[in-house]
A and B are shown apart, each in its own frame.
Chain A
């Protein structure tokens, strides 16, 4: 037997009481995990317009699912604890407990998967934001195109809130036409020249939207002719640090989301620890109570353990059971009615 322990009646009562408290604590932790998932999901949905795919949504989805499942399983555990010291009520849980252990173990594995995924999907999130922001910047000017009319406001608010500019940096704005044709005077020489000097016939300029301006700058914001030192007094394009936000929005958003996920990591790990504690404690309680009942002395001493045999033997048993189930699933070709056998033996007439 693996990790065998002696249990007196008093110890069993103590274990049941402690486990009851722990399982209710785990219910609260489950609710916390669910809320965490909901919060993360909302935060991701808020920025859905600047994301290309929703792969990262697997993290909050698992958190919500595990949170709800955890509430259910731990509530069941608390009910088992209440009934564990009643010889008439405990046997009805015997069949359910095996399924319960499987579910609880699966939840712990899923929570561990969440922690791993939140780090593993960083690359996917980065790529999603890169493409999403590139499209967002490209559609910034389309304020009169249905479905894109709020893209400008979204990008402006994003840049103001996250104190960032462009995708990688403010120079990204120099590569797209971000002023709508509706506000360009095509009779003007300057506009004509700019459009002609460009292969795609776009109106490009070395300027950025107002939302890129940094309030910490001591001078009023310079938004246009940013690369032309002579256009502004006492200004040097290369040395200017504070005029605009120097950080790109992709980096700002990745830092924000990874910060969120990193801060949920310790919370999730502590939930895993609580969940495993409930699982182990309930297994001890189950085996100890069943042992006492087997001895037909509910108040006598009994033994509690985690596994009936060693880890290796248990694994072999499980393997054998699985193979046996698979064998039962297959139909034996020799088995069948005698008539079928005769039909198989007699040759079919040649056509």
Chain B
């Protein structure tokens, strides 16, 4: 007994073919959208590649680009099949490929769901990548005359200004590293000697932040140095000061930015996946043309179904086929052994 058996006359078949054809081309557009989003995401990651620890985060955009291209191909092919489905002579050449195509569609559907899940899951490794990358970036901030790192200061400054953030977790991260190059430090000055002497690693640490941490919304001119010293500034309290510098860390700001982007892409891919479920359900009654009551008359009634047998029977059939394939391979191995003993 076939699953979800439906009777189809010519009019119904034409309607179905037209609907599925339209949906396939709509899916081609969706594929282009997925591809474009993957490309956009890749470009955005590349823009901040200096602040990323490794290239693992490029797996998702690469997958999106790949899935987008495959979606375009599959759907264009499906559209062509639908276009030819009402002409028995043209449809005959596609008939042997349809089962493979539907299997491919199901496989793609599963992959699409995995891609959508990855969009939501990849946030976790991205968090570690950003944290590590930003930590290194801040460490190299001062190395403006070291080849390969000379633009790190500029990159970090522009990022802090654009994302309205400061440091990795917060502005205090700048207190723990030397962010002023030795080239601009007067080692004959007592203050510099004292600061370096008071530190185990011989670093010049201070309770100050780069100018890019300053918040333009603050009513007072920006206080960048001696930030923890209340007596160094008039009418200033380090603990209650809210607006002087950005409170938010850049790791969190970038994660929100990329996370938001990934969530949006994920939601769109899930929507795409739901559409795919409908396509597969609608494309499944394709056998309706091969089950014509009178094969000589293409306008006669026919039956369409989703599965030729029930779900249980279909599953049993698949299992039997797989077992048979397994046995077949075993027999071949045994045969080879027998031949070897004879010789």
Interface residue ranges, A against B (CB under 8 Å): 143-144, 149, 152-153, 156-157, 160, 178-180, 182-185, 188, 209-211, 213, 215-216, 218-221, 223, 233-234
CB-based contact A182/B235 at 8 Å: yes
Q: Which of B153, B214, B221, B234 contacts A215 (CB 8 A)?
A: B153
Stretch at the interface among B74-82, B125-133, B154-162, B331-339: B154-162
Interface of A is mostly: loop
Known pairs A182-B235, A209-B222 / 14 extra A-B pairs, C-beta < 8 Å = A149-B219, A160-B161, A178-B221, A183-B221, A188-B234, A210-B224, A213-B211, A215-B154, A216-B154, A219-B184, A221-B210, A233-B186, A234-B183, A234-B186
List of 9 A-B pairs having minimum Cβ-Cβ separation, nearest first: A218-B144, A143-B219, A215-B157, A156-B216, A233-B186, A185-B234, A213-B211, A210-B214, A221-B211
Q: B217, B221, B234: which has the most chain A beta carbons within 10 Å?
A: B221
Q: Please report which residues of chain B, range 201-244, place their CB below 8 angstroms from some CB of chain A when the two chains form the complex.
A: 210-212, 214, 216-217, 219-222, 224, 234-235
Closest CB in chain B relative to A314 CB, distance in Å: 56
Closest CB in chain B relative to A241 CB, distance in Å: 14
Q: Which residues of A contact B144 (CB under 8 A)?
A: 218-219
A210 to B221, CA, bound (A): 8
A174 to B219, CA, bound (A): 19
CB-based contact B216/A234 at 8 Å: no
Please tell me if B171 contacts chain A, counting CB pairs below 8 Å: no
A270 to B217, CA, bound (A): 44
CB-based contact A179/B221 at 8 Å: yes
Closest CB in chain A relative to B138 CB, distance in Å: 13
Assuming the A-B contacts A184-B234, A218-B144, are A223 and B211 also in contact, with contact meaning beta carbons closer than 8 angstroms in the complex? yes
CB-based contact B222/A210 at 8 Å: yes
Q: Which residues of B contact A153 (CB under 8 A)?
A: 216-217
Q: Which residues of A contact B184 (CB under 8 A)?
A: 219-220, 233-234
A112 to B145, CA, bound (A): 54
Q: Count residues on chain B whose CB falls below 8 Å from chain A CBs.
A: 29
Please tell me if B181 contacts chain A, counting CB pairs below 8 Å: yes
**In the complex, which residue of chain B has the Cβ closest to the Cβ of A215?**
B157
CB-based contact A152/B216 at 8 Å: yes
A152 to B221, CA, bound (A): 9
A219 to B180, CA, bound (A): 7
A143 to B215, CA, bound (A): 14
A299 to B174, CA, bound (A): 86
**In the complex, which residue of chain B has the Cβ closest to the Cβ of A182?**
B235
A149 to B157, CA, bound (A): 26
Q: Which residues of A contact B222 (CB under 8 A)?
A: 209-210
Please tell me if B97 contacts chain A, counting CB pairs below 8 Å: no
Closest CB in chain B relative to A173 CB, distance in Å: 11
CB-based contact A210/B235 at 8 Å: no
A347 to B164, CA, bound (A): 93
A220 to B158, CA, bound (A): 14
Please tell me if B340 contacts chain A, counting CB pairs below 8 Å: no
A270 to B163, CA, bound (A): 40
Closest CB in chain B relative to A8 CB, distance in Å: 43
A188 to B158, CA, bound (A): 36
Please tell me if B189 contacts chain A, counting CB pairs below 8 Å: yes
0 or 1 for each of B149-182: is its CB under 8 Å from A? (1 = yes): 0100110011001000000000000000001110
Q: Which of A144, A160, A184 contacts B219 (CB 8 A)?
A: A144
A223 to B225, CA, bound (A): 12
0 or 1 for each of B84-108: is its CB under 8 Å from A? (1 = yes): 0000000000000000000000000
CB-based contact B180/A220 at 8 Å: yes
CB-based contact B180/A183 at 8 Å: no
CB-based contact A215/B185 at 8 Å: no
Q: Which residues of B contact A216 (CB under 8 A)?
A: 154
Q: Please report which residues of chain B, range 232-276, place their CB below 8 angstroms from some CB of chain A when the two chains form the complex.
A: 234-235
Closest CB in chain B relative to A146 CB, distance in Å: 13
A160 to B216, CA, bound (A): 10
Closest CB in chain B relative to A208 CB, distance in Å: 10
**In the complex, which residue of chain B has the Cβ closest to the Cβ of A188?**
B234
CB-based contact B224/A152 at 8 Å: no
A180 to B145, CA, bound (A): 38
